[in-house]
Amino acid sequence: MGAAPGAILAVGGAEDKVKKRAILQRFVREAGGRSGRIAIVPTASSIPEERASFYSEVFGQLGAGDCVHVPIVTRRDAQLVANAELVRSCSGVFLTGGDQTRLVSVLAETRSFEAIRTGLVAGGVVAGTSAGASAFSATMIVGGQTGLNLRRDSVRLGTGLGIITRLIIDQHFSQRDRLGRLLAAVASEPAKLGVGIDEDTAIVYYGNGVIEVIGTGQVFILDAARVVVNGLGDAPKTRPFSISEVALHVLTDGDRFNVVERRVMGADEGPSEEEKSPRRVASAETA
């Protein structure tokens, strides 16, 4: 039997922090509720102390047992044994929004990042909102154009944290008109599923390869396994290219998707024992 991975929550940004707070409540519950301890890592933010203080207050109101600010601003901070041990002592880790490029450049391949990965494999939960969600991907969207004009410069890709290997995640999706850049991303990386997440919406990604959608918006899944692309190659970056044979799935709260089999799951496929358990037992390949 493999390791026991926890859950990954990728949030599309602008999650409800005041009223029902369903997404943040779910994260607190996955992290153990009153018996849990949450590490807040605001590395992506330009105002890290304010972000950490704010989320600590919100998680406390939602019943988290304890919250700690992990002060990682530089790679030196991320390499400190004390910060890595602080992460390791927590059952949940929350990555705030901000700049995903900064987050990856500071955190990747450091002691603190390895502590995050170790906690996930041991059954913990990792959540990221906005930039924090994008950074989960191995191939990460770092920028691009809005709208549906598909060109080589529609999207800029980089290397992410690699917590999730099968998905390319984009956020603030409908609100910032990002379908074109996600189409361009999967045209370049057809082996990966493109996942566009609206604001106040999240995917909960389990170790068994199942995505569950929660929140008030939509999640767009692009499957380019059979994609046909013309004009991408060495064409000028401002020239449009054509794309066909991309499957589009639009999901809402409660819908589930099997990433391994690339299909929407039926209503008669009830939650597995892994999904119902606070600590899922599945393959060590979590994503």
Active-site hit among 30, 45, 172, 188: 172
Q: How many CB atoms lie within 10 A of CB 62?
A: 17
DSSP-derived secondary structure letter, 171: E
Sign of CA dihedral 172, 262, 148, 134: positive
Active-site hit among 130, 137, 154, 188: 130
* Angle at CA of residue 194, ends 228 and 128, nearest 5°: 165
Alpha carbons 21 and 198: distance in angstroms, whole number? 15
Q: How many CB atoms lie within 10 A of CB 3?
A: 16
Active-site hit among 15, 30, 199, 212: 199
- Residue 172: active-site member: yes
- Residue 130: active-site member: yes
- Residue 242: active-site member: no
Closest CA to 132 of 287, 16, 37, 11: 11
Residue listed under structure tokens 């045209």: 187
Q: Which residues are catalytic?
A: 130, 172, 199
